Structure 1
Amino acid sequence: MRQQRRQLSSLDRADAHRQFARLLSASWLLRPGRRVAVYFAYGYEADLDAVIQLARRRRCLLYLPVITDFRRSRMRFVRYDADSVMRVNRYGIAEPDPRQAEIIPVRRLDLVLLPLVAVDERGWRLGSGAGFYDRVLHHLREGRRWRRPKLIGVSYECQRVARLQPDRWDVPLDGLLTERGLRYFARPAARDLSTD
Structure 2
Amino acid sequence: MQNLKQIRRTIRARRRTLSSREQRRHSRSAARYFVRNIHLVRSRRIALYLASDGELNPQPLAERLLKLNKQLYLPVLRPGSYNALWFAEFRPGDSLHPNRFGIAEPDTRHRKPVPPWSLDLIIMPLVAFSNDGTRMGMGGGYYDRTLAYQRRHKGWVRPTLIGYAHDFQRVKKLKRQTWDVPLHGIITEQGYQAF
TM-score, scaled relative to structure 2: 0.88
Q: CA deviation at 1:85?
A: 3.4
Change (3 A) 1:143 1:162: farther
Give the counterpart letter for 1:175 in structure 2.
Answer: G
Paired with 1:2 and 1:85, the residues of 2 have a C-alpha distance of: 28
Q: What is the percent sequence identity of the aligned residues?
A: 38
Structure-to-structure mapping, 1:148-163, within 5 angstroms: 148-163=158-173
Q: Could you tell which deviates more after superposition, 19-28 or 54-63?
A: 19-28
Letter in 2 for 1:60: K
Aligned pairs for 1:55-94 within 5 A:
55-68=65-78, 72-94=82-104
TM-score, with normalisation over the residues of structure 1? Answer: 0.87
Partner of 1:178: 188
Deviation at 1:69, TM superposition (A): 7.0
Partner of 2:55: 45
CA drift of 1:84 comes to 2.4
Structure 1: which 5+ runs fail to align? Answer: 186-196
Structure 1 or 2: larger helix share?
A: 2
For 2:115 and 2:13, the matched residues in 1 are separated by: 35
Aligned length: 184
- The answer to whether the aligner puts 1:30 opposite 2:41 as a matched pair is yes
Of 148, 169, 175, 1:138 maps to 148
* Cα deviation, residue 11, structure 1: 1.7
Structure 1 position 155, deviation (Å): 0.5
Asked if structure 2 preserves the Cα contact closer than 8 Å seen for 1:36 and 1:112, the reply is yes
Deviation at 1:119, TM superposition (A): 0.2
Distance 1:70 1:126, change over 3 A: farther
Cα 1:146–1:76 change in 2 (3 A) is closer
Does the 8 A contact of 2:18 with 2:54 survive in 1? Answer: no
1:128-147 alpha-carbon deviations (Å, 9 max, x no partner): 01111111111111362341
The answer (yes or no) to whether the contact 2:15–2:53 under 8 Å persists in 1 is: no
Alpha-carbon offset, residue 105 of structure 1? 1.9
Q: Does 1:4 align with 2:38?
A: no
Structure 2 unmatched ranges of 5 or more: 1-10
Aligned-residue RMSD, C-alpha:
1.9
